[in-house]
Structure formats: C-alpha cells, structure tokens
Amino acid sequence: MSDLDEKKSLNFHQMELDERILKGIAKLGWLYPTLIQETAIPLLLEGKDVLVRARTGSGKTAAFSIPIIQSILNRKRDANEQQTTAVILAPSKDLCHQTAKVIEDLTIKCGRLVRCLDMCSKVDNATLKHMLADRPDILVSTPAKLLAQLQGGNVNVKECLKTLVIDEADLMFSFGFENDLKEVLGFLPNVHQSVLASATLQKDVIELKTIVLHNPVILRLEEPDMAPTSQLSHYHITAEETDKAAILYSLIKLQLIKGKSLIFVNSIDRCYRLKLFLEQFSIRSCILNSELPAKIRCHTVNQFNLGLYDIIIASDELHVLDPAVKQKKASKKLIKKIARESETESGIARGIDFQLVSNVINFDFPRDINSYIHRAGRTARGNNSGNVLSFVAAEENAFMESVEQHLEAGVDSGEKILKNYQFKMEEVEPFRYRAKDAWRAITKFSIREARIKEIKTEMFNSEKLKSFFEDNPRDLQALRHDRTLHTVKVQEHLGDVPEYIVPDALKHVTGITTKRKKSFVPKKRKFGDKANNPLMVEGIDYGKQKKI
C-alpha cells in the first residue's frame, strides 16, 4: 500500500462535517477525500489561512468550498440573518460557473439555507442587483465583475466577510486582473480568513500572498501525475496499423468501451485520419490539436465535460493540453490569423480540465514515458477509476517495454501492471474487412481537405461569431465540434452493425439482433458465473476483462 492509499483511510465522515454536506458528497458519489481535501479541509475548518499549490483535477474546489459551507451552516444554527460571508474569485467566467456548480451540488441537501450566487451567470444588471440585494451567503465572481458591483454599492461585505478565496491566482495576473484584484481588496474588512490556490508559485503570487495571507499554512501537495494502479488499469493490445483501426471500431460498436474516451495519436494528420475513419461508421468524434484556436479547444473540452461528446481524438498532447505552449501555426497561407492568438488566450485552457474520462486509448503508442504518464493522467482523476488501453505495433514495442519497466519498477509482488487485453481477432473478422476498406479510403488528400475544412470552420466559429455567442450563450451550446467532415465518401449502411458480424456472446449486450422477440426481457445475469454470463466467451472474459 502506498502512502497515498494509507492516508485515504481518513474519510469525509471523520471531518466533523454537517450531515447535509455529507449527503451532498455521497450524492456526488465521492467515496474518499482527495489528498488536497484531506489536508486542507481540517486546516480551513480551524480558520487557518492556506496557500494551496495544486492544479485543476486535484479536487481543490471542494477543498475550499466544503469548509465555507460548514461555517455558513454553523452560523445559521445560531442566527438566521442573511449575510454574504464568503467571496470566491476566479479568473474566468467558465471557472466561476464550475465553482458555483460544485457548491450547488454540495449544498443540494441544505435546502435554501446556503445561497450561492454566480455573478458571471448571464443575467442583466438589474436582475443581478436584485439578486445581490438578497445577500447571498457566497459570491463567486471574476475580480472585474465583483469590483463593478462593489463600486456601484450593490455589494457591501465590509462588516460580514469571513472567507476570501482567490482561485487560480497565477492566472489572475496573466489575465490582467491584477489591478481589479487589488482594488477589490480595498473593499474587504481587514480581518478575514483567506485562501489562495495556484498551480504555480511565481513572483506575482508570492507578492499577493504577502498581501492577503496571514501566517498561512502552505500546502504543496503534489498529487502523483498518474493515479495508483488500484484506480487506474493499464492494458495493451498488439496490433498493426489496420488492425488497430478494426479493433477500435469493433470495441466501440460492440460497446466494450464504456464512458467517455480520449484517443491519442502521434500527429495532427493521424487525428484527422482516425476521425475520417470513424466517421464512415457513423461514430462521431471531436478533434483537439494545437492548430485549433485555444478558445475552441476550451469550448470542446467544456462540452465534453458536460457530456455532449463521448470521444475526443487528440494529437500532440503536450501542445494541446499544456496551456503554457502556444498554438502551432497550421499553414502559413491558410491561417495566418491563428498565430495572432495570444498567450493569454491559451492560458484559458488551464483550469478547464477533462472530467470523468473513463478511458485513455493510445491509438499510437506514446514516444516516451513522460508522454505516457501525461496521457494516462487524464483519466482516474479525483478518486475516479479509469483505464489506459494502448495499441502497440511491432515498431512501437521498444516504447512499450520502457513504459512497462517504469510501471513495474517498485512493485515487489512481481504483479503485471501493463496487462494484455485479450482480444480474439477472429471473433471480429467481419469488422476487420469493413475497417480495411474504410481505412484505405482515406487518402492524404482527404486528410488535408479535412484539416483545412475543420480549421476554417473553427476559425469562423471562434472569431466571426464570438460577439454573437457572448450575448447568446445557449447558442454556443449548440455549436458542436463533432461535425462530420465528409472529405471521404460515407456509405450510410456502414453506420449499422448487422447481426451476423457480432460475436454470439455479445449479441445480448449490444442489443444487435434481428431475431429479438417483441417482448424480449433479458434474463438476470449473475456475473462471475460462466454458465450464466453471456459476456463470457471461450477463452475471453468479455465481462471482466474486455469491457473498459
């Protein structure tokens, strides 16, 4: 058992939290606090100032929100006077929405006792003023938005503020909120609890720390880059190029891949090749690569988190997922404009993180161990479980061996960490024929066409419609990034999977059977019992091993 596992023995019930918060946590399905929550919550409940160095995905939002909610509930036991006692500042509207949503979920069992106002929600000024007059217990805002209301006299927290949180403090500076932030501080009382959360501790953040924090506890809790093997399973399949495509196609169509998946490839062209391949089978996917404008990348990830898409294909992961890396120029002639995207804009990507990714699929095996860890770290976040499934061609074997060595170093039991994902190619031979044809249909020309088409469309979405969508956020929701590109001819019938190509053992699972009786009710299955488990076929336990 690792240190992390041992520490997890402290659960939410042992933190002396109100029953209603515990119910909210249970409803969210969180079994244990994350490392940052386990450490920060008791300190914050004691009233300490805290500097948290943690990245998004660590569970830091709940780490500072839970003590705030607890203290509001405590206060309301004695006096039910409505007062704004907590202010949470974040550097973007999206982050404000995310934070307010976490608070809403955590307080779901508190009735109307804890009121939180997301000041960046799209309401007109008069409505906002009206809502502020109710003195919500918690305000979530960007510094600029809060400052305007403080200056307008619509918010006054001089007498009542108990806790101030500055989230993503380093981005506050990159986004130019420095002056607003300093002015906001002038409207706050001298004594209150402060929390500063930041992914980096750069000079500006240290300066801010001296202004807002008093004798702070500094938590530099570096969570491991990748979840422990108790949470994260690693599988590999040996497969050459077209077999990789056939296996992926059949795993998706046979519903052996459950939940949201991030598929990684090693180049932008491969991104489009795979999208065009899946498109031929009516499998929709979005693309993330460094050619696309940062705003569009963020919007795609946001929609993915909201559950609009199940599959994202990502290339160049260090560029796409690391906000510090500027966007690549796609092609001089075509999209000079893209290069103008500012560094600030790519900074937006930070704080917006993939949520609830069940599977990371390495369609192309990463070229080094860091890259493997970086990709694998996108799943099994915040105590959730996840899988990494890697397709390995003969020439990628050496990379896999080094990853395997790394994963198994320090495992005394000799237990295999990178397990062989059993897949009987013969079982899905008919899928393979279809896949071969579909893979061959994609030419260099169709890839180039797709690449140009996607960028042109996304540039249009990003710039021309920006102001329109600012006023019409609902329409922005309707802007999808998984449109078909159609640079390869799509044959409608390929979207369906005929019954004869589905292995017998999986017919009930996929529901693909033409002989189904009208009133068919599947028998209750007992898992683990071969005789009763239709997921188990000879030699392969689809139920236990193949479903990821």
Q: Please report, as ranges, the residues that interact with ligand AMP according to CB under 6 A.
A: 30, 32-34, 37, 56-62, 355, 381-384
Residue with tokens 């704080």: 351
Least separation in angstroms between CB 453 and ligand AMP? 33
Nearer to ligand AMP, 61 or 446 (CB): 61
- Nearest-angstrom CA–CA distance, 330 and 441: 24
Nearer to ligand AMP, 255 or 385 (CB): 385
Q: Tell me, what DSSP letter sits at residue 542?
A: I
Asked if 493 contacts 437 with a C-beta cutoff of 8 angstroms, the reply is: no
Least separation in angstroms between CB 57 and ligand AMP? 5
Least separation in angstroms between CB 455 and ligand AMP? 30
How many CB atoms are closer than 10 A to CB 122?
Answer: 14
Q: Tell me, what DSSP letter sits at residue 395?
A: G
Q: What's the alpha-carbon Rg for the chain, to the nearest Å? A: 25
- Nearest-angstrom CA–CA distance, 101 and 350: 18
Least separation in angstroms between CB 35 and ligand AMP? 10
Q: In what order do the strands lie in the sheet with 86-89?
A: 116-118, 138-141, 86-89, 163-166, 193-198, 50-53, 217-219
Q: Tell me, what DSSP letter sits at residue 463?
A: I
Least separation in angstroms between CB 353 and ligand AMP? 6
Least separation in angstroms between CB 111 and ligand AMP? 22
Nearer to ligand AMP, 33 or 143 (CB): 33
Cβ neighbours of residue 311 under 8 Å, at least 6 residues apart?
Answer: 252, 260, 261, 263, 278, 283, 284, 285, 286, 482
Best CA proximity match to 35, nearest among 19, 53, 20: 53
Nearer to ligand AMP, 30 or 399 (CB): 30
Q: Is 349 exposed, middle or buried, given 0-12, 13-18 or 19+ CB atoms closer than 10 A? A: buried
Nearer to ligand AMP, 323 or 503 (CB): 323
Which pair of structure tokens corresponds to residue 372?
């493997």
Least separation in angstroms between CB 96 and ligand AMP? 13
Least separation in angstroms between CB 34 and ligand AMP? 5
Best CA proximity match to 40, nearest among 57, 63, 66, 74: 63
Nearer to ligand AMP, 57 or 430 (CB): 57
Nearer to ligand AMP, 35 or 146 (CB): 35
Nearer to ligand AMP, 58 or 315 (CB): 58
Q: In this chain, which residue has its C-beta nearest to ligand AMP?
A: 382
- Nearest-angstrom CA–CA distance, 304 and 308: 5
Least separation in angstroms between CB 63 and ligand AMP? 7
Nearer to ligand AMP, 104 or 475 (CB): 104
Nearer to ligand AMP, 34 or 163 (CB): 34
- Nearest-angstrom CA–CA distance, 26 and 22: 6
Cα dihedral 140→146→149→154 (10° resolution) = 40
DSSP-derived pairing of the beta strands 536-537 and 540-541:
antiparallel
- Nearest-angstrom CA–CA distance, 198 and 537: 50
- Nearest-angstrom CA–CA distance, 117 and 132: 8
Least separation in angstroms between CB 106 and ligand AMP? 10
- Nearest-angstrom CA–CA distance, 491 and 321: 34
Least separation in angstroms between CB 373 and ligand AMP? 18
Which pair of structure tokens corresponds to residue 75?
């206060």
Nearer to ligand AMP, 57 or 259 (CB): 57
